[in-house]
Structure 1
Amino acid sequence: MVVRHGKVACECHWAPNTVNTPHDMFSLSKSVTATAIGIAIDEGYVSLDTRIYEKYFPHKLEGLTGKQLEWAKKVTVHDVLSMRMGKVTSVFDDKAKTDWVNGILDKPIQFEPNSDWKYISENAYLLSWIIQRETGMTMTEFLTPRLYEPLDIKIPHWEQSQVGVDAGGWGLKLTVEDIAKISMLYINKGVYNGKRIFSEDWFNKATYPYTKKTYPVFSDNAEYGYQVWIDHEHHDTTYRFTGLYGQFSFMFPDQDACVVITASDTRDGDAISAVFKHFPKAFIEPKELDDKKQFEFKALTSTRAYGPDFMHSLGRRDAKRESKYSNRMMKFVPLPFSSTQGALTYFMWRKKIGGLTDVVLSFDKDNAIMSFKENNSERMTIKAGMNNEYTHNVITLGENELIVDAQATWNRDGSLEFFLYNSGRPQSKRLRFIFKGNTVILKQNSYPGFGALAKFNIEFNMGMNVGSKFENFLDVGGKVFGAFYSDTDTVGRFVK
């Protein structure tokens, strides 16, 4: 979505997404968390100089000694906002088992507070804790009358910790238009439709570059403020909200415009380069389109079927096999991860279910129907179109309501393949059932895969370029170390 002067200039979507589809924001959530802190500072709830562990978590300091205690007593709200706290956590720290605050304190010290920069998601969780401690409201409750209602944003879902605190650094779901509205709020220095939401003083603090160089592996060498990225390298100042798997908002204040992207791709550097190749030049040097170009533009921006090759079903039917395998229970060796969701998304949930344990297949005029349980879940049903169309499904996994648009086809080798597009979530799944007598082999693949995610993680955290061949190697590694990954093959049997 491209917005200029408060109006949508251009938008397009991959079906089955629409303009109203909420998307997982991943780290773009942090920018909304920082906005909440800014409003709380304006209202006198929070101070940037407050030493957070001493004020908000004094009981957590009782078991600390020596340098760990000295470090904890120094950390301020500013340090956490600017990612200059001094400790590093892992995205794979299990959110179902750990005390998230202890998960930070238990880590070794990397540097003294405010002496260096390291990006970690748990910093924003601490900020969410602060909002809840100071106001008595969750961050969602705090933001509803202060941000969501003035911007006409439907109150969004935000995943929580075991103790009922909004995650802060991830877990927020927003539509493309929601992101654009918050972006225009920043472009206008805290004012939206004539109403001031946060002070210009907070805007200046949030967009000040406390860290001048972040990750040189990405194309823009962006600076970092308070959960906002700042770019000066290509043109006049640009601000950016960023989340994993290609969630972006590029804000061009000099042009009163923003470009918002949601995606399922880990090639952040390529996305940033593509945007800056065309923007803000397109705003500065507008061109009239002739009839041919107008036609091409409309075709380009029309809603199209979702992209990756493996997600396009042939819709092949096989009446003989459908009769043979219908209404028979298949029991599988359970895996630790969901077979319908991507590993990282699933790993960040506080309440996990597990992998497929049993499946019953059936068929109707237009669909393959998969009735299944994941470990101790309630039985769920996904209908998959066998007519070259997606069938829309809503299922509940753990505490999460999920939209799954699905297709299915029989392959020429006799296997049955399901294509699960998780609308609004970054990873889509391919499930292939291979039948060998009473034995059933379930093969699983994600898009993007483990290799793409691991490649991104290495580039982002180590500042080194990783080639596509190494990405393929990492994909194979994901299969080898399958206990930690959701694309592992598993074996089952017909029991009736």
Structure 2
Amino acid sequence: MDQEALLPRSVPSEEGVDATGLSGLLERLEEQGIECHSLMVVRHGRVVAEGWWAPYSAERPQLLYSLTKSIVGVAVGMAVDDGLIALDDRVVDILPEHVPDPVSARAAELTVHHLLSMSTGHEDDVLEAAWALEPHDLVRGFLRIAPDAPVGSRHAYNNPTTFVLARMIECVTGRDLPELLSQRLFGPMGVNNVDWERLRSGLTFGFHGAYLTTEAIAAFGLLLLQGGQWHGHQLVSQRWVETATRRQIETVQFEDGSREPDWLEGYGYHFWRSRHGYRGDGAMGQLCLVVPEQDLVVAVTAATTNTQALLTLIWDQLLPSMDKPGSEAEDRALADRLRQLALPVGTGDHRPRDSAGGVVDAATEASALPSGSTVSIEPRPDGWSLRIDADGNTFDIAVGHGHWQDSSPLGRPVVAAGGWYGEVFEADLFVITTPSRVRVVIDSDRVTTSWNIVPLVGPNLLDQLRSPLITRPDRS
């Protein structure tokens, strides 16, 4: 099965969806300034709407951030189905070589259930603290941090839980996590364009770092909606899907009242319960929404710090359009609009005889390049060649004028466009398989490189562009 044919296509009116609701969703996203990169809506098992905001496109896999956790949760379910691991198995028994001496009584009690439900007893995410304690062994660092409360007593979102689960599954199956998922999940589904970020040691993060196309995200949601079945094959048991996606522990309001409504519906086994259905949820708006009562799946990739606003618009605009009469004319209008989706490409001048360059001023920790790096541009007929010299690396990025230009200077794709605005040159460099992009500004001999949203693995642009993706070269 080709990647492009994972799911059958239909039109909204044939699947009981009023296309005006989807058109309204696109309008509200624009009005509220929520930057989406892709959207796919699946009703009754068929895609009824799909669109990508250029320069994002259908064929490119996208970084899922913590939506990766839900995929790892399914891998755990497969191992449970196979009888290789049980929910009450303890970390200290499965991974004894990573157990510190001494280990606290509470840490010694941690089980697969506690990790999956993030009910470890810790008050907060202990990722950075655990890595600081053990930069070369995150499992050991995690076990060195004694839970604040009895295990199982509270929920706190805690990234190391998934890292530990990934290592446990690799231990009991004898296979690397991406290999296992390729053989047992993605391969049988026909998903063949999957990538993974890794640590210096080669280990996958587990809590982050999988890359899937938008259609593959939607197909994953449909697999869950169908109780773990894909084209007549039971890839993960219906019992596991039901267990993983129901509430396993309550999620409570923060003391300052800042927790949003869709984070107050409870947590399953690496799935969030929502006001409608349940979801896999990654930072910056990477979403796989499953709404069983509507036989609905919605896949979204985005670049937003306000995922709740995105969810609210989907609930308010899309759900009321279910089981409403539509029309062919409305279907066509929606399809036309979806084909024209695009992010602004910039309106600066070309100036084919002007070059520029300077030294990076990294006045903030969020600079994409360190201080002392140099950036220069040389004009080309259709844009510029932007040269970066940083951390001992020198490479060129193609920058389009009035259009996006693709290049892969260090192995990973970057898509860029730019122009002159008075005496200042600006270019946007999209790390196109992620939500993030860098704005490069050359003003005289001063250069700034700033992210729209800083990648969660850190601000170094080079880590995002190198292949293979070793995005935490300082951690094992």
Q: Retained in 1: the 8 A contact 2:352–2:379?
A: no
Q: Retained in 2: the 8 A contact 1:338–1:356?
A: no
CA shift, 1:11, in A, is 0.4
Q: Give, as a single letter, the amino acid of the residue that structure 1 aligns with 2:429.
A: L
- TM-score, with length taken from structure 1: 0.77
SS at match of 1:15: coil
- Relative to 1, partners in 2 of residues 1:149 and 1:449: Cα closer, same or farther, differing over 3 Å? closer
Aligned to 2:116: 81
Matches within 5 A, 1:293-312: 293-307=330-344, 312=345
SS at match of 1:183: helix
> How big is each residue's C-alpha offset from its partner over 1:218-254, in whole Å with a ceiling of 9 and x where there is no partner?
23322110001123x45xxx12111100011111223
SS at match of 2:399: strand
1:318 to 351, 355, 358: 351
- Relative to 1, partners in 2 of residues 1:266 and 1:331: Cα closer, same or farther, differing over 3 Å? closer
Distance 1:340 1:404 in 2: 14
Distance 2:171 2:389 in 1: 38
Q: Retained in 1: the 8 A contact 2:54–2:343?
A: yes
> How big is each residue's C-alpha offset from its partner over 1:256-292, in whole Å with a ceiling of 9 and x where there is no partner?
2201111011111101111111343322x3222363x
Aligned to 1:57: 96
Distance 2:191 2:454 in 1: 32
- Identity of counterpart residues, as a percentage? 24
1:384 to 390, 399, 403: 399
Aligned to 2:60: 21
Matches within 5 A, 1:217-228: 217-220=259-262, 221-228=264-271
1:164 to 202, 221, 243: 202
SS at match of 2:199: coil
Distance 2:135 2:450 in 1: 27
CA shift, 1:402, in A, is 2.7
Aligned to 1:402: 412
> Mind listing any 5+ residue stretches in structure 1 that lack a counterpart?
342-353, 454-483, 488-496
CA shift, 1:331, in A, is 5.1
Q: Retained in 2: the 8 A contact 1:132–1:165?
A: no
1:258 to 253, 278, 297: 297
CA shift, 1:294, in A, is 4.2
> How big is each residue's C-alpha offset from its partner over 1:304-355, in whole Å with a ceiling of 9 and x where there is no partner?
2215xxxx32240235533xx4xx7x555778978558xxxxxxxxxxxx66
> Mind listing any 5+ residue stretches in structure 2 that lack a counterpart?
1-39, 462-476
- Relative to 1, partners in 2 of residues 1:214 and 1:14: Cα closer, same or farther, differing over 3 Å? farther
CA RMSD of the aligned region, Å? 2.7
- Relative to 1, partners in 2 of residues 1:318 and 1:163: Cα closer, same or farther, differing over 3 Å? closer
> How big is each residue's C-alpha offset from its partner over 1:41-65, in whole Å with a ceiling of 9 and x where there is no partner?
111211111111233134522144x
SS at match of 2:373: strand
CA shift, 1:296, in A, is 3.4
Is 1:422 the counterpart of 2:431? The answer is yes
SS at match of 2:447: strand
SS at match of 1:275: helix
Distance 2:447 2:70 in 1: 40
Q: Retained in 2: the 8 A contact 1:315–1:407?
A: no
Q: Retained in 2: the 8 A contact 1:371–1:381?
A: yes
Distance 1:8 1:356 in 2: 49
SS at match of 1:61: coil
- Relative to 1, partners in 2 of residues 1:389 and 1:158: Cα closer, same or farther, differing over 3 Å? same
Distance 2:309 2:174 in 1: 42
- Relative to 1, partners in 2 of residues 1:97 and 1:162: Cα closer, same or farther, differing over 3 Å? same
CA shift, 1:416, in A, is 1.5
Q: Retained in 1: the 8 A contact 2:291–2:297?
A: yes
Distance 2:459 2:56 in 1: 26
Distance 1:173 1:218 in 2: 27
Distance 1:331 1:433 in 2: 9
